[in-house]
A and B are shown apart, each in its own frame.
Chain A
Amino acid sequence: MLSLQETLLLAAFLFSTGIFIILTRQNAIAILMGVELILNSVNINFVAFDRFLFDRIDGNIAAIINIMIAASEVAVALAIIISIFRSLRTVEADKLDSLKG
């Protein structure tokens, strides 16, 4: 039978891979992809705890709300990135330093 620990280990692996992507990538869209991986791992954790430990359904609802927030976040962030690309012709995170004095 499937146990809680295996599911949590999968989520932890996805989380650390997302951290790795955020730390290494230069493209802003790739950094957003790392954020998406982290959000997915958190959702897996919610569903697993709800499934294995508690006799309630709040974890599923938290995951649904999390998915909705991720959708709106990605829409706004990609719009900002496209707007930055239109004015600066680059999406590399190191070159977006025009606020630097």
Chain B
Amino acid sequence: MLVKILFYIISLGIAGLALFTAMSKNIVRSVFALLGVMIGVACIYGILGSAYLAVIQIMIYVGGIMVLFIFAVMFTSKIEDINITNRSYGWIQALIISLAIFVMFAFIILYYPFEKASMLEHQSVERIGKVISAEYLPFLIAIAVILLVSLVGAITIARPKKE
């Protein structure tokens, strides 16, 4: 019961922060609301019992990706027209489309007969380590290569060109 109350509080926080990310006029506020969403999603992982994924989420999303976002926002917008750079348009059509998607998903979720809906206690860090280093080793190596190539590519693209 306590878990459920905690889940509802965190879900309401995530939903509000996501809506703030969608609606805010100021892009810096938008980025910080998205950071709050990431921290809330890490809490959801913790509630669902995979602590390793929560730590990964905090380290990579909050510590890496959001810092990259904040740097990019600071680079690409001048401070005086920071309110102009986050314009949005086409609200009504986008609202119709996203509401249609949400209603469709909710219909499927609420009416699909899932087999058993009880929490299983099996997601330990030890088991993740064993599985990812035995069955999923090719994926791990491919991910390492992809990360290396994309970081080198990012540095090469973003570096100012010397004439």
B131 touches A29 (CB 8 A): no
Complex Cα–Cα for A53 and B12 (A): 25
A2 touches B50 (CB 8 A): no
Hey, which chain A residues are within 8 Å of B106, CB to CB? 9, 12
Q: Which of A45-101 contact B (CB under 8 A)?
A: 47-48, 50-53, 55, 57-58, 60-61, 63-65, 67-76, 78-83, 85-86, 91-92
- If A37-B34, A63-B53 touch, does A29 touch B89 (CB 8 Å cutoff)? no
Interface size on B, residues (CB 8 A): 84
List the B residue with the shortest CB-CB distance to A78: B72
Interface residues of B (CB under 8 A from A): 3-4, 7, 11, 14-15, 18-19, 21-22, 27, 30-31, 34, 37-38, 41, 44-45, 47-50, 52-53, 56-57, 60-61, 64-65, 68-69, 71-73, 75-77, 85-91, 93-95, 97-99, 101-102, 105-106, 109-110, 114-120, 122-123, 127-128, 131-132, 136, 139, 143, 146-147, 150-151, 153-155, 157-158, 160
